[in-house]
Structure 1
């Protein structure tokens, strides 16, 4: 089988085009043979191919292979009917045998409609099964990165909703993050990396949906090693996507970021032009495209672009602006303010988890291949607003001294954007439930009560330090041998070149 034929057979859109072309051609020649026996007035034999091409051109014009590919079957059949009418009109200039032309087009319509009807019926039955299964929480939900800052909240809320939950994570921070749920019979933990195909296979078996939270998050962390960042944030997303398709898992929720908007002087929404100003944002865009451009019919990704997250978590982070300001205020009594006039959207980590579960519960048609900004217009704030909130809430540091805000030289951070969240409000009914002051107050209480036992500058609380540790492991020989990675491909090519050179020397 040559590569061209393989590309048609294994791509759903190209396969449809090939099938429709063959159906139109076969229909023409079937009627042509029939008329040749009983009639003498027909189109020349070679016109069968021209007929098939004209049929495909009208299909393309009406969007049968593009914008109408995922619509309801009734819309598809109506579009195909319009295609047939236009095909008859186009070919009526070449023949006076209108009855012959009508029969050809009628048979073609039946030939191209029946498989679509059959597939739609099967998909509808399967879709109802999946939706009811997810609704009754029989199949586990796979949370990739469930041991992290957002993931631990997602796991907690899924368990409260009665779902069976399977967490797939490297557990860089340790499994203690989920220790509170260790005895819950509805929770299963699998330790592993996405590029470890054996572990990924174990994790993906029999799940009802995938929530993909894993990745290197934040501009400083992503800048540690661009090759590592692209592997973890893009290549791993592709691997996870292909695995989900192979196991027939249709629902796929991907954690993206409003950082993709970069710098904008107007309110941005899901339709706005993207303007990444960092590697982190670019990897999110590339991953979104990887998922949304996939043409597999039973694969239904949803992209959630999170606002800047804040708030307490079982896996705390103090490299996030709101969390950092509270930590600085309580521990140092000084909040270091940079980029005071830059705007950001904010959202509490618990609300992020709630948005994910709303997406999971939503009808497939409402969220399939859709992008949602996750946040609330009320929480669009400047960095200075956040510093002021933190100073007012903490009041005095742990030594009883008043809080000061010190303005530092602005870093090279061009991000500045105000985001609209109308789509998620209208489609999913999502609004924030935890305000910025309430979220900051919760963290302040945690500091006072000794919940955070390490210094806020400790590497445990920073994605930057975690990225540095991952870099060492990623470039190791052991990782290259046991995982699919960019580095393993480079190592394979280097080995091939070395072997080739040795053979040349021997010869």
Structure 2
């Protein structure tokens, strides 16, 4: 059973101004946590601007790869959530050295600093991409073999192993393997599959599916993702210490083509274009029974509702320049 009181616990969110972090920061503040954010603010401070005046919010602007910045960030915190990473295959391919430095080396250094300072609860954001290419048709559980097919996924596997190896009586890491996120956020992204398809459907009246679209992907709304992190922070430590959880919804394991069809239902005048041979080796159908049983976590946000919300935000001109680089973790053509 989850704790009902958060007791003013101070949580450091590394990457707290990002797509997921800006939502998680708000959610924790509204549930009685004190929130400290370490973020390089690569995409500006607008996503967290409204929180800066909150008495329980603190911002440390800087890069986690800088040791002095990292040490300052972990001062006077009880728990750490690490969301910071170079995210996704395209961005990692463009910056391989930065990927290893940020996704593996800096993550390991942060975990070691937390252990040294006896910050016991440490939550690390990994990815279901570590499963890579599914063999057979069985659902992938936390015990399934890892088969990463990209630098991004390999860096996450290395980080998981490094962090879990530090576990002892004073350091209790939890690994969350995230589904592909979608939905509206204060730090909006249009380089995630659902968001990208919706944007292209509304703006260009085209929905592209590359490689046939038969690949499986687990999806999760970003607001549900934030709820999962809060559940881990509220759970008695003995239930999450040293544990790995797939985070998502079994009902939201989708084939890429079916995602495109869901977008077309909301934007019927868009043309669905399926092209090319299978090039993306990633293909994984994931089980989420462990997090449902242990944390009583169940996704509540639905894909179609989220597509409609993004569509309406675009139509209402919520984004002054939808091609602004701040909406993308990788440069667009």
Alpha-carbon distance in 2 for matches of 1:186, 1:326: 36
Match of 2:286 among 419, 423, 430: 419
Instruction: Note if 1:439 corresponds to 2:306.
Output: yes
Match of 1:102 in 2: none
CA–CA separation in structure 1 for the residues paired with 2:326 and 2:8: 35
Instruction: State the Cα distance separating 1:411 from its structure 2 match.
Output: 5.9
- Counterpart residue number, 1:464: 330
State how far apart, in whole Å, the 2-side matches of 1:328 and 1:195 are.
Answer: 35
Gaps of 5+ in 2: none
* 1:273–1:198 CA distance, 2 compared to 1 (3 A): same
Shift, 1:448, TM fit: 1.3
Equivalent residue number for residue 257 of structure 2: 384
Cα-to-partner distance string for 1:248-289 (whole Å, 9 max, x where unaligned): 100000000000001113211100000000000001100000
Give the C-alpha shift of residue 343 in structure 1. Answer: 0.7
Match in the other structure for 1:315: 187
User: Map of 1:181-192 to 2, 5 A cutoff?
Assistant: 181-192=51-62
Residue segments in structure 1 that go unaligned for 5+ positions in a row: 1-130, 396-401, 467-507
Of the three residues 310, 317, 321, the one matched with 1:450 is 317
- Partners of 2:49 and 2:64 in 1: how far apart? 22
| Match runs of 1:51-450 below 5 Å | 135-264=5-134, 265-266=136-137, 267-339=139-211, 340-395=213-268, 402-410=269-277, 412-450=279-317
State the alpha-carbon separation in 2 of the partners of residues 143 and 314 from structure 1. Answer: 16
Q: CA RMSD in A?
A: 1.6
Shift of 1:137: 3.2
Give the structure-2-normalised TM-score: 0.95
> What is the alpha-carbon distance in structure 2 between the residues aligned to residue 176 and residue 207 of structure 1?
24
The 3 A distance-change label for structure 1 pair 295 and 373 is closer
CA distance in 1, matches of 2:297, 2:6: 22
Report the structure, 1 or 2, having the larger strand content.
2
Q: Do 2:6 and 2:31's aligned partners in 1 also have CA atoms closer than 8 Å?
A: no
Q: SS state of the match for residue 418, structure 1? A: coil
Give me the whole-angstrom Cα distance separating, in 2, the residues matched to 1:394 and 1:252: 41
Query: Would you say the 8 A contact 1:139–1:206 is kept in 2?
Result: no
Larger Rg: 1
Q: TM-score, normalised by structure 1?
A: 0.63
For residues 136-157 of structure 1, give each alpha carbon's deviation from its aligned partner in whole angstroms, at most 9, with x where no partner exists. 4333100000010010011010
- 8 A contact 1:319–1:463 mirrored in 2: yes
